[in-house]
Structure 1
Amino acid sequence: QDRILRHLTVGCTRLEFEYEIPYADAEKMLDELAEKPIIEKLRYVIPAGDGLKWEIDEFLGVNQGLVVAEIELPSEETCFIKPAWLGKEVSLDPRFFNSNLVSNPYSTWKK
């Protein structure tokens, strides 16, 4: 069985609902509901201390060249150490939302 992850965004907070679904249902959802092209990326997980972790997404395909780091926190008020390799904050920039990267891929942005 596969897992589906649904994001709901309010400010920097994203609600996530994660649960198992049958493989055939996942295929049907991707075929019929997902906007195309499908976002392609590699994900790397790096421990951040205190039970936290960084999820680093290296985008592929039409979004190749874009790398985004995300840390999941118990709340927006949780303090964490920002590593030296971390770039600018883009949480509230809609260009970086996966839903917008489908229609406005990174490869088309003016650099």
Structure 2
Amino acid sequence: MQMIEIERKFLVISDAYKKEAITTTKIAQGYLSKHPERNVRIRIRGEKAYITVKGASNTTGTSRFEWEKEIDIEEGKSLLSLCERPIIDKYRYEIKSGNHLFEVDEFLDENQGLVIAEVELTHEDETFIKPDWLGEEVTGDTRYYNSQLTNVPFSKWV
């Protein structure tokens, strides 16, 4: 079944989101493939593992095909060991804002200092309440794609 993911991304300008978080989870993720038209990701999120296939973004960078399936945790760990390096490590905070759920990723290691918020929408022009800690929108800026952060980590940006 085809699923279109519609999301917008923002930089985060304060750590106030941490006080509003309803969950916090450690995530490790890597890429088996980072082709420009599609990527295949393995993610370990807490005690669960997932395989995800994402297609290329549309022209605005807001929508793209996404297919995800939960897999056995041991299979996930084995597949993660096959992924290209480096592996992305981060903490994910989930925050409710109105009718929406924001996912805030606080990156570790070579991407330390980068904090990005994402909100999934049902259509591209859907309105949502913007929390005070939300900064500049970076939707469509490929530098902020997790797959690209493995190529050029945040610590290497000039």
Per the shorter chain, which TM-score range? 0.7 to 0.9
Structure that is richer in helix per residue: 1
- Name 1:43's counterpart in structure 2: 92
- Name 1:7's counterpart in structure 2: 54
Gaps of 5+ in 2: 1-47
Identity of aligned residues (%): 45
* Number of corresponding residues: 108
Q: TM-score, normalised by structure 1?
A: 0.86
* Structure 1 residue 62 displacement after superposition: 0.3
In 2, distance between residues paired with 1:94 and 1:102?
A: 12
- Which residue of the other structure, out of 68, 74, 78, is the alignment partner of 2:126? 78
In 2, distance between residues paired with 1:63 and 1:28?
A: 24
Which AA in structure 1 matches 2:54? H
* Structure 1 residue 60 displacement after superposition: 0.3
* Structure 1 residue 19 displacement after superposition: 1.8
In 2, distance between residues paired with 1:87 and 1:9?
A: 25
Q: Deviation above 4 Å: which 4+ runs of structure 1?
A: none
Q: TM-score, normalised by structure 2?
A: 0.62
Partner-residue secondary structure (3-state), 2:69: strand
* Structure 1 residue 78 displacement after superposition: 1.0
Q: Kindly report the root-mean-square deviation, in angstroms, between the aligned alpha carbons of the 2 structures.
A: 1.6
- Which residue of the other structure, out of 145, 148, 153, is the alignment partner of 1:97? 145
Which AA in structure 2 matches 1:19? K
Partner-residue secondary structure (3-state), 1:40: strand
Tell me if the contact between 2:97 and 2:130 (Cα under 8 Å) persists in the aligned partners.
Answer: no
